[in-house]
Amino acid sequence: MNQSFLDFFIPFFIFGWPLFIISVLTSIMGILNNRYGLVLLGTVLILPFVYYLAGTRTLFIFAILIPLFQLGCAWAVKEENNWLAWVLFSPTILVRVWLLMISFTYTNLMPF
């Protein structure tokens, strides 16, 4: 493999969309199957994205809250309280959709 490709691909995979999508899907599978271990795995997988958010001054609070909400979601799944698990999981999705909308706005890629 070309070294410049790996220099681009590895940080993009770890800090960008691919690992975030994998962590969200893992957490969703954990909530749907009542397996808190999968939600905890989703929490661990989202930590690089949260670390990236912690580098910005305006989004620093989200970097603290997202893992806490994910841990609360795992606790709710363990207690078999699915509606609370979905409520605690929703900030993760909302923050990422918000960032997606910002990136589309600044790059003029809005689909509508």
> What are the pLDDT digits (tens) for 81-109?
999 999 999 998 898 888 888 777 776 66
Q: What is the 3-state secondary structure (H, E, C) of 27-77?
A: HHHHHHCCCHHHHHHHHHHHHHHHHHHCCCCCCHHHHHHHHHHHHHHHHHH
Q: Would the pTM of this model clear 0.85, i.e. be above it?
A: no
Model confidence over 19-46: pLDDT tens digits?
888 999 999 999 999 999 999 999 999 8
DSSP state of 1: -
